[in-house]
Amino acid sequence: MDLYEYQGKELLRSYDLETLPGIVAGTPEEAARAAETLGGTVAVKAQVLIGGRGKAGGIAVVHSAREAREAAERILGMDIRGHTVRRVYVEGGAEIEAEYYLSITVDRAAKRPLILFSTEGGVDIEEVAETKPEAIVRTHVDPLLGLLPYQVREIVFAAGLEGDAAKGVGRTLNNLYRAFEGLDASLVEINPLVLTKDGRVLTLDSKVTVDNSSLYRHTDIAELHDVEAADPQEQRAQEVGLQYVKLDGNVGILGNGAGLVMSTLDVVAQAGGEPANFCDVGGGADAEKISEALDIVTSNEQVESVLFNIFGGITRGDEVARGLLSAIERTGIGLPIVVRLDGTNAEEGRRILAENTPENVHTEETMLDAARRAVELARGARDSNGGR
Amino acid sequence: MAILVDDGTRLVVQGITGREGAFHTGRMLESGTNVVAGVTPGKGGQNHDGVPVFNTVHEAAEETGANASVIFVPPPFAADAIFESLDSGMKTICCITEGIPVHDMMRVADFIETKDATLIGPNCPGVLSPGKANVSIMPRDIFTPGKVGVVSRSGTLTYQIVNELTQRGIGQSTAVGIGGDPIIGTDFIEILGKFEEDPETDCVAMIGEIGGNAEQLAAEFVRSQMKTPVVAYIAGFTAPEGKTMGHAGAIVSGGESTAEAKSEALRGAGIRAATNPSEVAELVAEALGG
């Protein structure tokens, strides 16, 4: 789960990371009031869950309440790479001496936290990695031991820091690692981390991603989930424990297991079709969950046909068949549905379907045939609808 | 022969009395797996499908000589179940549980380095050696004994490919689902190494997906260390960037994590890379024939 800058900063403050004072605003008036409260030069920053807002014009440095209002008027509602700005963060200013980069991520290959620090902050770190890799200090942390004092010293010395900068960055490193652990984060990134002219080290921007699998033990963070930013169907799917992703085509896809679903998307594309969305019912879905999933997939108006691809392991074919039939009965879905059912209890599932096949349900033996059929039916539906 | 699990496997099922644990214990027994014990804290002394249930893995190991475990414990308690298994001397541990926090898994991955044990998963379908042992949730009917090793990050996609192989009359030595999470116990490379050493595996089918760079690392291993031919397939050619595609680990977050980049790296290492599951079976047939 990605957090907005202002949410991330609030959490980081509780781990003693220093930030500038800031106020969230949802309207130009609120932004003006915030600028007045903070006083002096302030930054008006678009709150979006995607990078590149600076380049897109989503940050303005202003000197009065009037300017803050104007900037917020311009930035609120702005579209930044597909994300609508609905809030700005108005933040006090500071006199900056130097800009650093600091992040902690999960290194999948090493299976450990990885700290990246660079004195070349404020810019895209991937660019630094490419043009000046020696400017990045990389340190793996043993998750059972935690970040050790000598490692902090190594990082600070390797970066060539001294005095206030060395002390401040060292303190920040310790606090950020505590935050990374305590928040169950998969990423905490501060870019830039700044050294001010008066010797303080401040978190100027923050990116915090919390591991979704850990949210059960972070109910306060789970509540920060931005319902407005999510697609309504994605939101509904999440509430019932399904994985749903909206795409742009007209074939709705329902399957079990991430790999099979991704492969189904690929095969539909190879058959000349375009997936409208997909819903992964995961492992061990019962009839109720299957029924819910079908409902979510078909509630997307782009969908002209549904491809139902289940290869049961922990999921049982009879449950799948019952769920499918009950969803059709309950909601009266008339869209063509192509079913391909294999694996655990698949025979019983196929028998249940054969006994009660509604008119709009077609069964196919293989994944490839099922994909072709679904693409064909979607095309047919589109033609007969005059390309709705 | 086979890898990881075989006739010598003495299995303990952690979470044997839960919905999934109970169901799949029955299926593992039907496959002829030597399930010697089950563990559910507080239910020790009971019996499940003729399998004695214990309160702890230590107790189960002492009483039955178990040497492998399969875990069906809910996510908040699953990492602890892995630690328990490791401390009780289990040599092969398959963790089926999906949704274990990444930080928990980093601690597990760290601890396991001090033990002589192999963790498969989590968020995986387990390991099945047809005709020998089934330590998995995989549907056994689709398998047939033979000489193709299968290793995959995905569960259901593994079934799809095994099914395609079997329908072509191509049997399998062992199928291993390594799991779709960002942090897993055993990577492609370790499994590929075991298949390379297995005299009865003549070809390996490797099934990857978007996210991370495990497939690229595997490609380099195949190129430099393996004589056994490898056929690969990466799912997720059409996955958009920045969206988690079902598996916590399946997200395109940069150029190298796309299906295309991975397929290219595989081909660059001389590996036959398929574009859909049916083609995998075709390429395996080709590799075995040549």
pLDDT band at residue A312 using 50, 70 and 90 as cut-offs? confident
A149 conformational bin, left if phi > 0, alpha if psi -120 to 50, beta if neither: alpha
The amino acid present at A41, given as its one-letter code, is: T
* Three-state SS sequence of chain A: CEECHHHHHHHHHCCCCCECCEEEECCHHHHHHHHHHHCCCEEEEECCCCCCCCCCCCEEEECCHHHHHHHHHHHCCCEECCEECCCEEEEECCCEEEEEEEEEEEECCCCEEEEEEECCCCCCHHHHHHHCHHHEEEEECCCCCCCCHHHHHHHHHHCCCCHHHHHHHHHHHHHHHHHHHHCCEEEEEEEEEEEECCCCEEECCEEEEECHHHHHHCHHHHCCCCCCCCCHHHHHHHHCCCEEEECCCCEEEEECCHHHHHHHHHHHHHCCCCEEEEEECCCCCCHHHHHHHHHHHHCCCCCCEEEEEEEECCCCHHHHHHHHHHHHHHHCCCCCEEEEEEECCHHHHHHHHHHHCCCCEEECCCHHHHHHHHHHHHHHHHHHCCCC
Mutate to test the interface with B, among A263, A268, A270, A350 (most CBs of B within 10 A): A263
Using CA atoms, how far apart are residues A252 and A308, in angstroms rounded to an integer?
A: 8
- C-alpha A329/C-alpha A322 separation (Å) is 10
Task: Provide the percentage of residues in chain B whose pLDDT is more than 70.
Answer: 97
Q: What residue of A is the nearest CA neighbor of B100?
A: A213
C-beta atoms of B102 and A270 within 8 A: no
Of the residues A4, A6, A100, A101, only one is catalytic, namely A101
Q: Give the pLDDT band of residue B220 (cuts 50, 70, 90).
A: very high
Q: Which two tokens stand for residue B54?
A: 């214990």
**Lowest-pLDDT choice from A244-258, B33-47, B171-185:** A244-258
Q: Does B289 touch chain A (CB under 8 A)?
A: no
What's the pLDDT tens digit per position in A160-183? Answer: 999 999 999 999 999 999 999 999
8 A C-beta contact, residue A280 and residue A255: yes
Look at A28-42, A243-257, A356-370, A373-387 and tell me which has the smallest mean pLDDT.
A373-387
All domains of chain A in start order, with CATH: 1-20+95-229 (3.30.470.20), 21-93 (3.30.1490.20), 232-384 (3.40.50.261)
A243/B246 touch (CB, cutoff 8 Å), yes or no: yes
Q: What is the pLDDT of residue A386?
A: 44
Chain B nearest-CA distance from A145, in A, is 9
A69-A70-A71-A77 Cα dihedral, nearest 10 degrees: 90
* Residue-level pLDDT at B189: 96
What residue spans of chain B are helical by DSSP H?
Answer: 19-30, 57-64, 75-87, 102-112, 156-167, 188-197, 214-225, 259-268, 277-289
Question: Closest residue of B to A247, CA-based?
Answer: B240
Query: What mean pLDDT do residues B38-61 have?
Result: 95
pLDDT tens figures, A284-311 = 778 888 888 988 999 888 999 999 999 8
Q: What is the pLDDT of residues A125-147, one digit of tens each?
A: 878 888 888 889 999 999 999 99
From A239's Cα to the closest Cα of chain B, the distance in A is 15
B247 among known catalytic residues: yes
Residues of A annotated in the binding site, as ranges?
A: 45, 52-54, 91, 94, 99, 191, 205, 256, 313-315
How many C-beta atoms surround the C-beta of residue A347 within 10 A?
A: 13
Region of residue A116 (phi > 0: left; psi between -120 and 50: alpha; otherwise: beta): beta
| Residue B256 pLDDT | 80
Query: Does residue B15 belong to the interface with chain A, where contact is any CB pair within 8 Å?
Result: no
Measure the CA–CA gap between A25 and A43, rounded to whole angstroms.
12
List pLDDT tens digits, range B238-247.
888 777 776 7
Nearest to B246 among A112, A142, A261 (CB): A261
Binding residues of B for substrate: 159
Gap between the Cα atoms of B286 and B205, Å rounded: 12
Summarised one tens digit per residue, pLDDT across range B189-213 is: 999 999 999 999 999 999 999 888 8
Chain B closest CA to A267's CA: distance in Å? 7
Q: Could B250 and A142 be called an inter-chain contact, meaning their C-beta atoms sit closer than 8 Å?
A: no
| Closest chain B CA to residue A49 | B242
Contact B243 A245 (CB under 8 A): yes
Mean per-residue pLDDT over chain A, rounded:
91
CA-to-CA distance for A298 and B170, rounded, in angstroms? 38
Which residue of A lies nearest to B247 if distances are taken between CA atoms? A258
**C-alpha angle A118-A123-A125 in degrees, rounded to nearest 5:** 55
Contact (Cβ atoms closer than 8 angstroms) between residue B35 and residue B28: yes
Residues making up the binding site of A for ATP: 45, 52-54, 91, 94, 99
Contact criterion met (CB < 8 Å) for B157 and A263: yes
Pick from A109, A258, A343: CB nearest B139: A343
What pLDDT sits at residue A167?
96
Neighbouring residues of A371: CB distance < 8 A, sequence distance ≥ 6: A264, A267, A268, A270, A271, A273, A307
Q: Does B275 touch chain A (CB under 8 A)?
A: yes
Q: What values do phi and psi take at B204, rounded to 5?
A: -120, 135
Element (H, E) at B138: none
| Residue ranges of domains in chain B, CATH in brackets | 11-120 (3.40.50.720), 138-289 (3.40.50.261)
Q: Would you call A263 and B277 a contact, using CB atoms and an 8 Å cutoff?
A: yes
Instruction: Output the known binding site of A for substrate.
Output: 256, 313-315
Of A184-188, A315-319, B134-138, B217-221, the poorest mean pLDDT is in A315-319
- For residues A7 and A15, what is the distance between their CA atoms, to the nearest angstrom? 13
Q: What is the pLDDT of residue B1?
A: 66
Which pLDDT tens digit goes with each residue over B256-265?
888 899 999 9
Q: Does B112 touch chain A (CB under 8 A)?
A: no
Cross-chain residue pair A143–B160, CB shorter than 8 Å: no
CB-CB neighbours of B271 under 10 Å: 23
- Burial state string for A249-267 with b = 16 or more CB within 10 A and e = fewer than 16: bbbbbbbbbbbbbbbbbbb
* Sequence letter at residue B287: A
Residue B27 has pLDDT above 60, yes or no: yes
CA-based diameter of chain B, in Å?
56
CA gyration radius, chain A: 26
Residue B28, token pair as written in the block: 């593992």
Contact B246 A258 (CB under 8 A): yes
Residue A382 pLDDT:
66
Q: Are strands A2-3 and A206-210 parallel, antiparallel or unpaired?
A: antiparallel
